[in-house]
Amino acid sequence: MNKSKVQNLHRIDYWRVVPASVQGTGHENRGQPCQDAYDWARLPKGILVAAVADGAGSADLSEVGSAVATQTAVATLGNNTATLQLQKDDRAWQSLLSEALAAAQQAIAAAAVARDVELRDLATTLIVVVAAPGVVAAAQVGDGAAVVRDNEDNLNALTTPETGEYANETVFLLSPEAVEGAQLKVWRGEVSHLAIFSDGLQRLALKLPEGTPHPPFFSPLFRFVAEATDEESAKVQLMEFLRHPRITERTDDDLTILLATLNPKMADD
């Protein structure tokens, strides 16, 4: 690694991040809140931790479960910053991700107890990703997916939608087997872009049932985040994109996507 890149790793803005989440038209018509959630944190040494969750539509407080899950997973990994910087072995990455899933599962259980409600009322999926120079590690319980693009413009699905025994059924984090059966993936290479999204977008973003990324969906989004000059205004624009009829005519579910790219300033230093 050259001296300039080593210096860049100390910059907290190594990653440019633009997330957005909007209420689905179906939820709006039924008077339900947006049940998706996301959280993320930029850490030292060029590390990004991000999470996206989709609360179950049939669960009364799933928006609480999804928020608790994402915040807990990101906080758990953020507390392991020093450990994250040292991981060389795939199994070590997988262990850290499993720990984050377990912590989120336990936090949801505690939230159910605190509210004196059934655990199933906080049912949610969860996708957690750690991106660092040369490696991206992902864990997923349920549907949605995480996709990376490398510096040669190849799209790679880190995770794919996980379904249950029946069609349109998914796996939730509250399941006793959720952590042990989670998808765990460690991808090594030079990543240029990252996307994590809930299941409302998966039919647009992926070629199903194989789950491979659909380039016409990702190319303009990755170009958009790379050219964005202000993260907050870009977030507003991304929300407008999610609310566009071209999207909402094809899905009435809540829509969440978190986009990240290496900050172009890195290449200038």
157 in any annotated domain: no
Which residue type, as a one-letter code, is found at position 61?
Answer: L
Indicate the number of domains in the chain: 1
The per-residue pLDDT for 185 is 96
The per-residue pLDDT for 226 is 94
Q: In the numeric block, which tokens belong to residue 31?
A: 């008077």
Assign residue 53 the CATH number of its domain.
Answer: 3.60.40.10
In tens, the pLDDT along 148-194 reads: 999 999 999 999 997 654 445 689 999 999 999 999 999 999 899 99
Rg over CA atoms, the chain: 18
Q: What is the mean pLDDT of residues 247-252?
A: 92
The per-residue pLDDT for 28 is 83
230 in any annotated domain: yes
- The whole-angstrom separation of Cα 230 and Cα 232 is 6
- The whole-angstrom separation of Cα 232 and Cα 17 is 10
Q: Is the pTM of this model over 0.85?
A: yes
80 in any annotated domain: yes
60 in any annotated domain: yes
Q: Identify the domain containing residue 243 by its residue range.
A: 3-149+163-268
The per-residue pLDDT for 32 is 86
Cβ partners under 8 Å of residue 61, min gap 6:
115, 117, 121, 122
156 in any annotated domain: no
154 in any annotated domain: no
224 in any annotated domain: yes
**Mean pLDDT over each residue of the chain, to the nearest integer:** 89
The per-residue pLDDT for 130 is 95
Closest by CA position to 65, among listed 174, 185, 155: 174
